[in-house]
A and B are shown apart, each in its own frame.
Chain A
Amino acid sequence: MLKPINLIASAMLALALASPLAAQDGTPKSGGTLNVVIQPEPPSLMLGLVQNGPTQMVGGDIYESLLRYDSELQPEGQLAESWEISEDGITYTFKLREGVKFHDGTPFTSADVEFSMDKFLRESHSRMRTYMEHVESIETPDDLTVIFKLKQPFGPFIGIFEPGTAPMIPKHIYEGTDFASNPANNTPIGTGPFKFDKWEKGSFIHLVKNEDYYMEGKPYIDDVYYHVIPDAASRAVAYETGKVDVLPGGSVENFDVPRMQAMENTCITDKGWEYFGPLSWMWVNSDNKPLDDVKVRSAIMHAVDREFAKNALWNGLGKVATGPFSSSTRFWDGDTPDITFDPEKAKALLAESSYNGEKIRILGLPYGETWQRWAEAVKQNLSEIGMDAEIVPSDVAGWNQKISDRDFDLAFTYLYQYGDPALGVSRTYMGSNAAPGSPWNNVSNYQNPETDKLFDEAALMANPEDRKAAYKAVQDLIVADVPNIWMLELGFPTIYRCDIKNPVNTAFGVNDGFRDVWIDRD
């Protein structure tokens, strides 16, 4: 056991989100330039084709979807003024907002919605493709109404209308062309508050205010610079020397967070990730001996000191995971079987188990220093209870390759839950989704027909209370089986100058565009 460490009493606690969320105080001023860091540089800004983090962040300003979601994931109107769902949960009718135009001036109509959902996204957005299988038909009686008819009730359907999942694509530009190689991809056109201006590869992306944006007086600021700075230390320097105002989650090493947080005119929030609910865990490859033995898996579960990791590596941000669900995801339930840090119990379990000295290979996540340190910490935790472990080196491509080929014993990862268990959690534990080849499948090849049945039923239940009970049962079953070693619900802090008003006010944080942001500087 680690020597009695007075970790908890350290300065970390002082950080615990003392600063108030910048409420909608004061009257918004227009004008000014917002400098944001983006890391890594997005491969492309065409949100329909590429959906990784950075693309979603910049794309969120250019494209919009029908709805927006507040921090409790309750939908609000965006391109759709109003919407209603039929009693049986089958038909969804959306009333579109009047007089909305694309950045090139062509009006936005229901035809664009149909083209986006039915043609463009179904073809090039793999997540949307699975959701669209629930859709029977899409009708556009007039320019401002769109009616979706589902094959059977699908609760989470209302939760997919955010720019990252369902961006509205201009039909007049893409119809009949090969989406992937359409030159317009380099100059994306959407309906959002900002228009694409210039992209200097390796340096910055510049967006300018959409003058005739359909919401009066918005956006407040004139333009946004997304700065590409590859080195974490340089990003911190950029903020410190005033060149950059907003550091989105994950762009600065966690060790720097307390120091930056203590700087004057600096506010911090870990809001804005509720929709994604990033949960980190270690895939366990139960095909390899001795990991097929549940005792070995739970011994590992109890051996890993996640509180230390939270404080030492993530500066006290985030929460210790209780199971496969993030606490911000709907139908999360706290009291699951005990998986707390207990090295003595771990040693006992290990003694009873079939483990006899095999070397456990840990595959770290190749996304920066924090993950590398975490792999080293886990290796040390395992050696404390007598398990011999070794870190397998890998870079981005090597990690993908090893995950697809199931060439690992334990493998770090973190995935989004998209607010609803049916959207983000079931894909990790459904037996049917265990085909090798993709990091988003059931990589640990967890086969449990009982939980599969529960997941299928819960997805199609119309009444939320029934879904809650079903998912409670699923959580208890999975946690008992310990198919994966759940680590932390990640807290990605967004650091920003206090005089930048409400950069984060929805469940998507900075990915939701800077429509309501204003700069309180004279």
Chain B
Amino acid sequence: MARTDLNTRTGADSVIRFILGRLVKAVFILLAILVFNFLLIHAAPGDPAAVMAGEAGAADEKFLADLRTRFGLDQPLYVQLFIYIKGAVQFDLGYSFRQQMSVAEMIGDRLPATLLLTGVAFVLSLVLGVAAGVAASARQGRWGDTIISTFALLFYATPLFWVALMATLVFSVWLGWLPGFGYSTIGANYTGMAHVLDVAKHLVLPASTLGLFFMAIYMRMTRASMLEVSRLDFVKTARAKGLKRGVIQRRHILRNALLPVITLAGLQAGQIFGGAILTETVFAWPGIGRLMFEAINQRDYNVILGVFYISAAMVLLFNLITDVVYVIVDPRIRLTT
């Protein structure tokens, strides 16, 4: 395809080409994940029919048998896998044995809650992390640095679920400031702004617990990166130009120091979902993290696979976004690929 010289110079089309390349790679990874998960889950002892029967209070052989035929568990494994992948491609993630509902619908119901929780937690952790990192690097070696670093480390070193428990105990039960669980006050069916406020109130504890946990990671990376960049030559040039300390810090050091933080954010995407499973379980947040954990206990295969598929897709999308941000921010990559 003929490319005018000017176009490449602006680098717009190289960013698009970059995204196309990453999308193709993402599809391959998703497919690999599907096959990997499918085999992994089927290796698990026990099968959903037994679970369903267990729940129904009483069952005999006939009941179990027709359950298995109904859910196609009697067909050979590769046939089930083929059916599954064909379905997954058209976003039909199969049927949940346990909840008598299509998995895509179930995940669809609960995905917004998880996106809200992980999204807010991510932004919180990134903003606080970078701010703390910058503050700590500015006071390197002095007590300010040690205090901020140790404080951030505190959150990174504490088990997420324990912080969640203590937060519920202190803020919800003892002080009663915040609701300790759930997505919104049930039965109060607020509308419009009231509803948003109500959800926000419920969101405070889980999002801050999850967010503060990841803040430490960004804080440490920003601090190290700021110190690293402040030693580079162009910072000395900037000082020689008579720029004020603050301008150098913001315009020169921080912008360069953020590059590794962006890559790190991409890598952390997978972890934040893991954290969501814990947070959602303790705070009864109706997200796909909790759905995943319940599904694993009940061996609800299609739900487990569905959540894996969606969470992997979420992580890949997230990586793509961070990569694109990185390419836009760093002209050296944008104009050379």
Contact = CB atoms under 8 A, between A and B. Distances in A.
Partners in one complex: yes
Contacts of A231: 181, 281-282, 284
A233 B62 CA distance: 39
What range describes how many residues of A lie at the interface? 35 or more
B275 interface: no
A203 B59 contact: no
Interface residues of B, number: 53
A222 B219 CA distance: 53
B334 interface: no
A366 B297 contact: yes
A437 B64 contact: yes
Contacts of B298: 396-397
A43 interface: yes
Nearest to A238: B181
B284 to A, nearest CB: 5
Interface in B265-314: 281-284, 286, 290-291, 294, 296-299
A366 to B, nearest CB: 7
B48 A241 contact: no
B165 A43 contact: no
Nearest to A185: B100
Contacts of B56: 50-52, 126
Contacts of B283: 234
A398 B51 CA distance: 9
A485 B294 CA distance: 31
Nearest to A441: B60
Interface string B159-176: 000000100100011001
Contacts of B282: 231, 233-234
Interface string B166-196: 0010001100100111110111000000000
A234 B284 contact: yes
Contact of B165 (A233, A398, A439): A233
A52 B57 contact: yes
A229 B181 CA distance: 8
Nearest to B50: A400
B55 A397 contact: no
A401 B50 contact: yes
B186 A225 contact: yes
B53 interface: yes
A200 B297 CA distance: 21
A400 B109 contact: no
Contact of B284 (A52, A229, A435): A229
Contacts of B58: 51, 126-127, 438, 440
Interface in A207-243: 225, 227, 229-231, 233-234, 237-238, 240-241, 243
Contacts of A401: 45-47, 50
A400 B187 contact: no
Nearest to B282: A231
A241 B173 CA distance: 8
A100 B102 CA distance: 35
A308 interface: no
B255 to A, nearest CB: 43
A204 B187 contact: yes
Contact of A126 (B59, B106, B186): B59
A403 B30 CA distance: 37
A52 B55 contact: yes
A52 B51 CA distance: 12
Given A400-B50, A438-B53, A230 B109 contact: no
Contacts of B64: 437-438
Contact of A234 (B54, B70, B180, B297): B180
B280 to A, nearest CB: 9
Given A225-B186, A238-B181, A438-B61, A201 B101 contact: yes
B63 interface: yes
A126 to B, nearest CB: 5
Interface in B111-166: 165
A175 interface: no
Given A201-B109, A397-B50, A237 B187 contact: no
A200 B290 CA distance: 15
A336 interface: no
A435 B64 CA distance: 14
B22 interface: no
A230 B46 contact: no
Contacts of B10: none
B252 interface: no
A487 B110 CA distance: 41
A195 B129 CA distance: 51
List the 4 closest A-B pairs by CB distance, nearest first. Answer: A397-B46, A202-B286, A401-B46, A397-B299
27 contacts: A43-B98, A43-B99, A51-B56, A52-B56, A52-B57, A53-B57, A126-B59, A127-B58, A202-B291, A203-B286, A225-B186, A225-B187, A230-B290, A234-B180, A234-B182, A237-B172, A237-B181, A241-B176, A241-B180, A366-B297, A396-B297, A396-B298, A397-B51, A397-B299, A398-B46, A401-B45, A440-B59
